[in-house]
Amino acid sequence: MKIFYSEEHRKHDPPFEVFDGGKRVPYYENPERMDRISAALKKTDWAEFTEPKDFGLDPILAVHDKNYINFLASAWSEWLASDPEVAASPGQNAFLPATFALRRKPRLPSTLLGKAGYYIMDLSACIVEATYKAALASANCALNAAEFISSSTVNRPQSPLAGSSAFALCRPPGHHAGKDYAGGYCFINNASVAANWLSSKGKVALLDIDYHAGNGTQDIFYERDDVLTISIHGDPDYEYPYYIGFADETGAGAGFGFHKNFPLPTGTTYTGYLSALDEALAMIKNFAPKHLVLSAGMDTFDGDPLGKFHVTQNGFGEIGKRITELNLPSAIIMEGGYANEALGDNMVKLLGNFK
């Protein structure tokens, strides 16, 4: 299996985040996550690591607002230039807003901190010097995976699954990033960029199995009928991102009926999770897409510090097995998962079905 991975992620290493209730804690979405996954993959005989090529900005701007991307590109340098104290010790700081725009058609302010509150939805999307470069590399990992499975479909029409899956080992993750905002450790929506790129070649299904609702993905495709989006997650009535991901959100306009949320209760077991997954897979079969994009978050794991589900390591194997039964060329995009000691083995269990 092709594994698209870039070392650029390593420089995105915020010194802290501001967690629930205002606690300042070490950054959960840290480089160790990638080290654990890559180490586990390198123990297999089927993982082939490849540096991603650069697709340029066009596929990203097809999904994200240009002014938002410009903000990500310049925010850190603008902040250093505006604050000598921060410039004197940049490694101890991360750029975050102190105010947030209530999304009632607010105006975009002209000041840097005003823009930050407009374009960032929470205190986990910390920007440091290399955040933008890492986000670009992450999106390119996803685009390379999309291109690979598309080429595999063309080259192997008689054997649709032969070599037609790829894993984008993305960091930072992406599914909380909307058209014009960052949040939940996410800056560019990697899975959405990949799905949109694939949509020019036929219908696409995007299945999100991360513990948290894929609010950014929902935002991006909510009015489209060429990409079916499905998210299985903790009920936002009790879980982040709180304000999106409810069962009655099913798309709008041309996209009505082409989005589905499965908000599950706290403490959901492996059995309960599989029940929702089977319903999601039936929807995908009925949609009959040409390609599948899988937002693969491992934070449904029993014991993940940011999740409240009880999926076991062997459970990830069964989840992967059921998804592969769709017989679709699949771009698997790394999202969350913060139980670092188990993260690599969990990912191998899932991916082993696609090799």
Residue range 297-324, pLDDT digits in tens = 999 999 999 999 999 999 999 999 999 9
Q: Which residues, 6 or more positions from 123, have their beta carbon under 8 angstroms from its beta carbon?
A: 17, 18, 19, 96
Average pLDDT over the chain reads 94
259 is catalytic: no
What mean pLDDT do residues 325-337 have?
98
User: Where along the chain do its domains lie?
Assistant: 2-65+129-351, 67-119
Summarize the confidence of residues 280-289 as an average pLDDT: 98
Beta carbons of 330 and 146 less than 8 angstroms apart: no
**Does the predicted TM-score (pTM) go above 0.75?**
yes
Q: How large is the average pLDDT for residues 52-59? A: 98
Q: What is the CATH number of domain 2-65+129-351?
A: 3.40.800.20
Catalytic residue from among 175, 176, 233, 291: 176
Query: pLDDT for 237-246, tens place per residue?
Result: 999 999 999 9
Question: b/e per residue, 142-171, with b = 16+ CB within 10 A?
Answer: bbbbbbbbbebbeeeeeeeeebbbbbbbbb
* Residue 155 pLDDT exceeds 60: no
Q: What is the pLDDT of residue 118?
A: 92
Query: Tens digits of per-residue pLDDT, 5-18?
Result: 999 999 999 999 99
